[in-house]
Amino acid sequence: MATSIEGIYRDGHVELKERPADIRNETPVIVTFLSPGEIDLRAHGIDPNRAAELRAALGTFTDWNEPEMDVYDDYDASKANL
């Protein structure tokens, strides 16, 4: 299962905004550095009206980090076993 936690790179270290739950010490990680600032939606072909539609549509989703959402972690394998 993948876990995402926001953090900041400072002085050669990554400082996490929160402590991850159920993650052991020495667990391997991959760090992806994001460009600071906002995402340019227009560069991706999304105008303000479409952005509002997407926000409204995606706002109804539950928190994917909730334990009951773990069933979707390996959806393809689960579907193949039906």
Residue 65 lies in a domain: yes
How would residue 49 be classed by pLDDT, with cut points 50, 70 and 90? very high
**Can you tell me the distance from the alpha carbon of 60 to that of 81, in angstroms, rounded to the nearest whole number?**
29
Return the amino acid letter for 70: D
Residue 1 lies in a domain: no
pLDDT tens figures, 6-16: 888 899 999 99
How would residue 62 be classed by pLDDT, with cut points 50, 70 and 90? low
Residue 55 lies in a domain: yes
Sign of CA dihedral 73, 74, 75, 79: negative
Residue 24 lies in a domain: yes
Per-residue CA distances from 14 to 4, 24, 25, 42, 59 (Å): 13, 17, 15, 30, 29
Three-state secondary-structure class, residue 14? strand
Residue ranges making up the domain that contains 55: 7-80
Domain count within the chain: 1
Residue 76 lies in a domain: yes
Q: What is the pTM of this model?
A: 0.38
CB 7 within 8 A of CB 15: yes
